[in-house]
Amino acid sequence: AQSVTQLDSHVSVSEGTPVLLRCNYSSSYSPSLFWYVQHPNKGLQLLLKYTSAATLVKGINGFEAEFKKSETSFHLTKPSAHMSDAAEYFCVVSGYSSASKIIFGSGTRLSIRP
């Protein structure tokens, strides 16, 4: 069975400060993990994905995430927040079995203060 938990429903940071969005997962198999971003009334855009290669994954717009198997975490970070980063972020887990499902976290809303 698989599950994903986004630990914060809302995160607020000042522009220019670091961003940390937390995600923990549970998977019986070696998982694939994704982060998506959604701006208001838009579809989801892929930020980055982990598929058992390098544990530190670099994505678009300066975001990166580190897969930590011992902590079952896949937190999303960015060194310096920009106003355009304000959006909803989703952590997604999927197993490598044809029977496994794609599971979405409940989302974290990121707000950026000027």
Partner 1 sequence: DGGITQSPKYLFRKEGQNVTLSCEQNLNHDAMYWYRQDPGQGLRLIYYSQIVNDFQKGDIAEGYSVSREKKESFPLTVTSAQKNPTAFYLCASTGRGRVAGGTDTQYFGPGTRLTVL
- With respect to partner 1, which residue has the nearer C-beta, 55 or 96? 96
- With respect to partner 1, which residue has the nearer C-beta, 29 or 68? 29
| Binding residues for partner 1 (CB under 8 A) | 9, 32, 34, 36, 41-46, 49, 51, 90, 92, 94-102, 104-107
**Torsion angle defined by CA atoms of residues 31, 32, 36 and 41, in that order, rounded to the nearest 10 degrees:** -80
- With respect to partner 1, which residue has the nearer C-beta, 16 or 101? 101
Minimum separation from the CB atom of position 80 to partner 1 (A): 26
Minimum separation from the CB atom of position 16 to partner 1 (A): 27
Residue corresponding to tokens 């989302």:
107
Nearest CA-CA partner of 2 in 111, 110, 112, 99: 99
Minimum separation from the CB atom of position 83 to partner 1 (A): 22
- With respect to partner 1, which residue has the nearer C-beta, 51 or 72? 51
If phi > 0 it is left, if psi is from -120 to 50 it is alpha, else beta; for residue 96 that is alpha
If phi > 0 it is left, if psi is from -120 to 50 it is alpha, else beta; for residue 93 that is beta
